[in-house]
Structure 1
């Protein structure tokens, strides 16, 4: 194993351990916020997060895709990737609903909206991912 591979493995193990215990209030208080977020699968079937991030230590405020998604708890409003915790604000479905409402208020007869994430595939049902990663309530 190369030093780079060893480093990535160690980061993944640390992220999984952190996800198993769940975030502390201090970790969430300092975590970047992700708005209009959507879990995705990349072309290699690796889960990640897409969204509008604020207060990211390297990216600041921008649209982004995350590093590998390790765990997500939609109800508690957090996600863990290999690199960090995220506080989850509004899901992407809220953006879709707002887009439809804005179009309707502008006089357009629109009842649905569809957005492409190509080459990514949206994860609608977290249960289809299996374990790991663990979703909607981390389990040991």
Structure 2
């Protein structure tokens, strides 16, 4: 995975932060979609993510979905990092990013995430595993991921107030 790709979610946020009203609209639409849940049509029409994993740059970073995607309306069929991940339901087979739904295919095998990871690995953290030498950490603790997404949803629900104070711009970068 290219090292520069890690900035995708941050760059997307920074670009949208220049147009706060459209970003607020996107955030509201994302939260509303997540709260109602995907319709069967949403899932059927969503891009398919295979060999996917949830990644962060470090423990404080926002989660993104990484994987081989097919049927993406803008990116086509290729390996991608999504915009910020706000919801994930493994059992129902879907994920929601700030911009769209994804169908979840096969996850990336956990035993392949960090075959060289050892107890003494300086990147080893509770709930995370390094993704080879990419600079990314895979979030492998479901409770940790749920807590990250819950905090993000609180921020997105109160985005207008945060945008006024400038706090959202700092937190989303």
Q: TM-score, normalised by structure 2?
A: 0.61
> Which sits farther off after the overlay, 69-78 or 123-132?
123-132
CA distance in 1, matches of 2:70, 2:101: 13
Gaps of 5+ in 1: 98-111, 135-140
The corresponding residue for 1:79 is: 95
> Which sits farther off after the overlay, 22-31 or 86-95?
86-95
- Structure 1 contact 36–94 (Cα < 8 Å) conserved: no
Structure with more helix by fraction: 2
CA distance in 2, matches of 1:30, 1:66: 17
CA distance in 2, matches of 1:117, 1:18: 35
Closer, same or farther: CA 95–4 of 1 in aligned 2, 3 Å: farther
Closer, same or farther: CA 117–126 of 1 in aligned 2, 3 Å: farther
CA distance in 1, matches of 2:88, 2:79: 19
Gaps of 5+ in 2: 1-16, 117-130, 154-173
Closer, same or farther: CA 19–64 of 1 in aligned 2, 3 Å: same
- Aligned pair count reads 119
- Give the aligned CA root-mean-square deviation in angstroms: 2.4
- Counting only pairs closer than 5 Å after superposition, residues 1-140 of structure 1 correspond to structure 2 as 4-43=19-58, 45-93=61-109, 96=112, 113-114=115-116, 115-116=131-132, 118-129=134-145, 130=147, 131-133=150-152
